[in-house]
Structure 1
Amino acid sequence: MFKGSKVLVTGAGGFLGTNIAKRLVEEGSHVRGTLHTRSPQFEHQRLEYVQADLTNMEDCRRVVEGMDYVFMCAANTSGAAVMATQPLAHVTPNVVMNAQMLEASYQAKIKKFLFISSSAAYPPSGDRPVSEEEMFVGDPYEAYFSVGWMKRYGEVLCRIYSEKIKDPMNTVVVRPSNVYGPYDKFDFERSHVTAALTRKVIERQDPLEVWGTGEDVRDLIYVDDFVDAVMLAMATLDQFDPVNIGYGNGRRVRDVLTTLLEIDQFQHANVVINPTKPSMIPIRLIDVSKAKVMLNFTAQTSLAMGLNKTLVWYRESHGAKERLRTAHAV
């Protein structure tokens, strides 16, 4: 579908944008990637980077000109600490960017527009996996109220462009669980829990602090699997029909850490649980049966395999081999 096509990936310096742009050029696409504050993490002869502030409508029009498809990966994102103290950081800029990029894409007659929503927008479902039709049956979790409603509004905008106007534009909406892997944010101020734990294990931190109780349950999907699902969704879906993308089961934060310690052979780690630090909701699971039926998608990468790939990539990318060798010697 994408071979030879001109594809815009917004937020191409970020975690999901980098991985999607990388896959697209590998499949033969000509990719234009937008950058704002971040630098490129990946280079390719068919990947052109352009500076843009997507809260500026003129920039949105400029970057989308001449494109066939748009992957909307640009977003202000961060971890529990920022979400707890600055909830509006996830609202205003993202609402503006999403609205303006949809309008610019529509005016440019884009064939398909992909919007990455979030499973954080769902209302509470206890320990039961939540299905797609439940998105608007109640408010999101209080901890995710701001970012949840921002994502919901993005979905409503996608539906308007896809169903409620003359000469509609095809929009594809995916709702990922917790994605992890190479090119993620690993700085502690903005990282999510899996990336933060990965870095702490590699650096052999002592004590190794776990935020929250360690009992929070998440559905973790390796980024290559997520990109597989995104490509299938763009190729398969020809109408507004949001779909959950996840691994299909939950793992406790403390289990993720245990797996990291075992894979990386970090014995006798001094693990300290700190319940005073910000964490989010105790359990969040999503029903992935729709993706299996509609996209013929099932995640293939086990948690142990995905974490091992992430550890290897981090060391190769951040020059951590010498630090590890020194730690073992001590």
Structure 2
Amino acid sequence: MTSFEDMGAVLVAGGSGFLGSNLVARLARDGVGPIRATWRSRQPHDPPAGVEWVQADLRDAAVCERVVQGIDTVFLCAAHTSGAAVITGSPLSHVTPNVLINTLLLEAAHNAGVKRVVFLSTGSVYPDTKGVPVKEEDAFSAPPFDTYFAVGWMKRYTETLCRTYAEKIPKAPMSTVVIRPANVYGPGDKFGWKTSHVTAAQIRKVFERQNPIEVWGTGKDVRDVIFVDDFIEGVVRAARVAKPYLEVNIASGTGITVLDILHKAMEIEGHEAEVYCDPTKPSTVPILLFETGRAQTELGFTAKTSLAEGMERTFAWLRATPQSVWDR
């Protein structure tokens, strides 16, 4: 692989998850490859043809070494994730498995001569900027939100490893890209009550036509939400940037309250319901917005899908997909 424009042989670690499955589908449509994708406990649903699927527990160093053989570009999408209740009640559940996956796969990739690793990080690395949209350089300027203390530092540690492999190993550097996503939603998302993030949770409540509808927290928390196809477009563009190291926000660049997300879903589905907020239930942070100038300048990327269109496509996917696939 002489240019990052040509990804060569690709590994999507975590290829059956929400982001990984959408990425695999996009790369296959683009004719990238060959493509290898891993899954651990959840088999891929409706996978594209021509992809090599490998069941793999990436917490095992030997398994990581095996799956990166012959690979040029790795997309590190594998992660143990969940919703607000788990983040606040059992924060270490996000730490140990992810530290193992990230460190072992990065080491295996470097030892195997992989040219580039694209790491899907998180917006939880950012500190509280008091409602000002976060820039990439803000990430290490102060501690993460206390709610995100464990997961934020875990992701910061992996980001530091990515930079180390790219810039601090003079004889054999490995190019890396760090993606910091906003709240991604869309087809393939997790809609289980214990695992869903904020947008998926509101969509499911409306899809099931609940009445009344309960919103955790005050409903006034502000989030940047981005449709999955837009997000994957940003990831693919970032993977092709000709820089040894890049960190970039992939977001819509706009904010919306949780209540407004819910009301938009109700409007689209034509569902009228009583809505009440329970401030005693877990929520995460009051406001997290993203500055998107670097994505626009470096990647030529701007999110294109409106919330209404994204939700319509998500509701259509839910109607066409067995509940066993999305209720997880």
Q: Give the TM-score normalised by the residue count of structure 2.
A: 0.94
Matched, 1:185 2:190: yes
User: Which residue of structure 2 aligns with residue 231 of structure 1?
Assistant: 236
Matched, 1:92 2:96: yes
Quick one: distance in 2 between partners of 1:48 and 1:2? 22
> Secondary structure in 2 aligned to 1:168?
coil
- Counterpart AA for 2:303: A
CA 1:190–1:52: 2 relative to 1, 3 Å: same
Matched, 1:30 2:34: yes
- Counterpart AA for 1:208: I
* Contact 1:34–1:49 (CA under 8 A) maintained in structure 2: yes
- 1:53-82 Cα offsets, whole Å, 9 max, x none, are 111000001111111210000000000000
* Contact 2:5–2:241 (CA under 8 A) maintained in structure 1: no
1:274-289 counterparts in 2 under 5 A? 274-289=278-293
Aligned-residue CA RMSD in angstroms?
1.4
CA 1:135–1:4: 2 relative to 1, 3 Å: closer
Structure 1: runs of 5+ lacking an equivalent: 321-330
- Counterpart AA for 1:51: Q
> Secondary structure in 2 aligned to 1:71?
strand
User: Which residue of structure 2 aligns with residue 66 of structure 1?
Assistant: 70
- 1:98-132 Cα offsets, whole Å, 9 max, x none, are 11101110111111100011111101001110111
- Counterpart AA for 1:216: D
Structure 2: runs of 5+ lacking an equivalent: none
> Secondary structure in 1 aligned to 2:109?
helix
- Counterpart AA for 1:139: P
* Contact 1:171–1:240 (CA under 8 A) maintained in structure 2: yes
1:87-126 counterparts in 2 under 5 A? 87-126=91-130
Residue 2 of structure 1: how far off its partner (Å): 7.2
User: Which residue of structure 1 aligns with residue 223 of structure 2?
Assistant: 218
Matched, 1:261 2:263: no
Residue 44 of structure 1: how far off its partner (Å): 2.0
Q: Which of 43, 63, 73 lines up with 2:47 in the alignment?
A: 43
- Counterpart AA for 2:162: C
* Contact 1:54–1:97 (CA under 8 A) maintained in structure 2: yes
User: Which residue of structure 2 aligns with residue 270 of structure 1?
Assistant: 274
User: Which residue of structure 2 aligns with residue 198 of structure 1?
Assistant: 203
User: Which residue of structure 2 aligns with residue 326 of structure 1?
Assistant: none
- Counterpart AA for 2:179: V
Residue 30 of structure 1: how far off its partner (Å): 2.2
Quick one: distance in 1 between partners of 2:265 and 2:241? 35
Quick one: distance in 1 between partners of 2:132 and 2:271? 34
Residue 237 of structure 1: how far off its partner (Å): 4.0
Quick one: distance in 2 between partners of 1:24 and 1:311? 24
User: Which residue of structure 1 aligns with residue 137 of structure 2?
Assistant: 133
> Secondary structure in 2 aligned to 1:70?
strand
- Counterpart AA for 1:174: I
- 1:3-57 Cα offsets, whole Å, 9 max, x none, are 7832110111111110111111111122111111112123122112111111100
- Counterpart AA for 1:223: V
User: Which residue of structure 2 aligns with residue 6 of structure 1?
Assistant: 9
Q: Which of 19, 24, 39 lines up with 1:21 in the alignment?
A: 24
CA 1:3–1:295: 2 relative to 1, 3 Å: closer
Q: Which of 295, 314, 317 lines up with 1:313 in the alignment?
A: 317
Over the matched positions of the two proteins, sequence identity in percent amounts to: 50
